[in-house]
Amino acid sequence: MNLLSKILSYSIIGLEDYLISFESYCSPCDIQKFCKYGKAEPFTITINCGDLNRAKEKIKFDQLQKLQKKEDVSVTYEELIKKVKINVQNIFSQIWKDKVKAHKEEIRCLDTRKVDAMLVTQQGQDWWQDFNTTMKEINHECEKIM
């Protein structure tokens, strides 16, 4: 019985800001009763479309610089751009690390120092899968406005 594999809820809270709520995760986890976050104040993070876009642009810029050093000078900018591949998974992973995993004191379900490592690993994978799916949806919405 896996109560934690629900898609996270998200909502738009500004022109370019989305709020992801982990509210559905805060009640089924037995150890959540020790956490700072719960039903009254669920754990949430804000995702800004501008930040996502800047992260993608930075990756594009870094890759272009590397390509320009490798490729012949006769290769056009348009041809170089076609070779740039942006892996949004890396961006999502960094957001996960900075905005979710960094709060393990508040989210006891993700703290291996307080909870069995196997339980934490399983819950972390479930949360990450849902977070990744939610981020793909938000990224898709952000691409519409950019």
For 68-123, write each residue's pLDDT tens digit.
Answer: 888 888 888 888 888 888 899 999 999 998 988 787 666 666 666 666 677 667 77
Q: Does some domain include residue 118? A: yes
Q: Which residues in 3-31 are b (16+ Cβ under 10 Å) and which e?
A: ebeeebebeeeeebebebbbbbbbeebeb
How does residue 7 score in pLDDT terms, banded at 50, 70 and 90? low
Q: Which residue has the higher pLDDT, 49 or 11?
A: 49
Residue range of the domain that includes 39: 9-52+86-145
Residue 111's SS3 state is coil
Q: Does some domain include residue 74? A: no
Q: Does some domain include residue 19? A: yes
pTM for the complete prediction? 0.76
- Rounded distance, CA 32 to CA 51, Å? 30
Q: Does some domain include residue 106? A: yes
What's the confidence (pLDDT) of residue 5?
44
Q: What percent of the chain has pLDDT over 90?
A: 29
Q: For residue 46, what are the contacts with CB-CB under 8 A and spacing of at least 6?
A: 13, 17, 18, 19, 20
How does residue 128 score in pLDDT terms, banded at 50, 70 and 90? confident
What's the confidence (pLDDT) of residue 2?
37
Q: Does some domain include residue 66? A: no
Q: Does some domain include residue 63? A: no
**pLDDT surpassing 60 at residue 38:** no
Q: Does some domain include residue 132? A: yes
**pLDDT surpassing 80 at residue 49:** yes
Number of domains in the chain: 1
What's the confidence (pLDDT) of residue 36?
62
**pLDDT surpassing 60 at residue 63:** yes
Q: Does some domain include residue 24? A: yes
